[in-house]
Amino acid sequence: MLRPIVLLTAGAFASAFAQAQDAPKTPAVAKTQDAPKAQEAPRPQEVPKAPEEPKLVPAPAFFASQDPIEVTLTTNIGNIRGDKGADPPWRQAALSYTAPEGNLVTVPIKARTRGIWRLKWCDFPPLRLNFSGDKSKGTIFHKLDKPKMVSYCQDRDGYEEYILQEYQLYRIYQLLTPVSHKARLLKFTYVDSGSGKIRAKRYGFLTEEPSALGLRLGGKVLEQKGALPGDLDPYQDALFGVFQYFIGNTDFSVAALHNVELFFDNVGEVRPIAFDFDFAGAVNAPYAIPDERLGLQNVRQRLFRGYCDDPASYAKVFALFNEKKPEIYALYADTVGKLMDRGTVRQTLKYFDEFYETINDPRSAKRSIIESCIGRR
C-alpha cells in the first residue's frame, strides 16, 4: 500500500507569522464626528524596538547522551496491537530501568498507538508515550512530556537493523543543523502485562517533542499547511531539501506538512524540519515503496523533491556536507555504529559516497539538484 504524496497546495500561510510572534495589537480608537480637532503636539520619532532575545530552554537531559539505555516497557500488548483507529485510547504502561546505584526505577506512564501505515503492517506499532505529572521527577525521563517512540516493526534481526539505520539519520541531521529533533536510543524489553511474558527485546528510540524543540531554539513549531518556497528561510530550506536527497527520501511534503514540521523563530523566519525517515533509501526497508507517480524503481534511487532556492544557499549547503563528512561517517564506527551489521554499514557509506560524488561535480549537482527543484521562486 502506497502512502499518498501530496504536492504543493495553495493556502493562507502569512497568518502563522503573527501566531509565532504573539505580538499584541493596539486596539483601534473610534472617531467621533462632532468632536473638534485638537492640535497635536509634535511627537519624537519612534524608533522601532528590536525583537527581544528569546529565552532558550535546554533540551531534557535525557537527550544529552548518545549511550543506549536498557529499559523495560510493560503494557497490555494485546490491547495496544488492537488499537488501530484514528483516535486510540491511552493505555496504562510503565518504563523500568536500573539506576547507576543498582536500584530498579519504575515510572508509570500511558501509551497509545500513532501513525496509519505501520499500524497495518507491523507486529508492534509505533507509540506515543505520556509522562504526565511529576511521576518522572528524579528519573532519567524527567521533563519528557509526550515523546514519540519508534519501535520495532517485526521481531526479526533485519527489522532491528532498520531501527538503527533510521536512528543514525536523526543523528546526522543533528550534526547538520540544530533545527532538527534530538533522539535517544534504548534497548527495550517488551513485557505483556496481560500474561507477564517477555514478547521481544529490540532497539527503539525516543524523539524530542516539537514543543521542546521550539523552546530549545527560542521559537515555536506550528502546524501551518500551504508553505511555498518564498515563505521559508532559503538556506534552511535548501539544507532540508538536500538532506532529504542525501538520505534518499521522497516521502514528505512541506505544503501538506507530511513528515515535515515548521519552526517559527521570534522574528518570523520559517524553517522546515524533517522527520520520519523509515521510507528513505538509506534505511532501505522492504516495505518502503516510492510513490508510483515519481517514476522511481525503488527507494534507493534518489530524486530531489525540495523547493527551489538561490544558488548561494545550495553552495553553502554543499560546503556544510563536505565539512561534516568525517563526522557523519564516524557515526558508523562509534558505539551505536558498532551495533549495526558491518555489511549494512559498508552499503550505507557507499550510498553516501554516491551523494558526495554528485554534489562535488558541478554538472551533476546542477542537473540532479538545482535544476530538479520544485516551485521556482
pLDDT reported for residue 322: 98
- Distances, alpha carbon 301 to alpha carbons 7, 223, 289, 314, 331, in Å: 19, 30, 11, 21, 23
Question: Using an 8 Å Cβ cutoff, are 266 and 50 in contact?
Answer: no
pLDDT reported for residue 22: 52
- Beta carbons within 8 Å of 219's beta carbon, 6+ residues apart: 20, 54, 263, 264, 265, 266
Cβ atoms within 10 Å, residue 364: 12
pLDDT reported for residue 18: 54
Q: For the chain, give every domain's residue range.
A: 61-210, 219-372
pLDDT in tens, the chain (377 residues): 444 444 434 444 555 555 555 544 334 334 334 444 445 555 555 555 656 677 888 999 999 998 899 999 999 999 998 887 778 999 999 999 999 999 999 999 999 998 766 767 788 888 999 998 788 999 999 999 999 999 988 899 989 999 999 999 999 999 999 999 999 999 999 999 999 999 999 999 999 999 999 999 999 999 889 888 889 999 999 999 999 999 999 999 999 999 999 999 988 899 999 999 999 999 999 989 999 999 999 999 999 999 999 999 999 999 999 999 999 999 999 999 999 999 999 999 999 999 999 999 999 999 999 999 998 54
pLDDT reported for residue 259: 95
pLDDT reported for residue 332: 98
Task: Say which residue the cell 499584541 belongs to.
Answer: 24
pLDDT reported for residue 37: 47
**Closest listed residue to residue 105, CA positions, set 136, 78, 84:** 136
Q: What is the pTM of this model?
A: 0.87
Cell of 125: 506499532
pLDDT reported for residue 29: 36
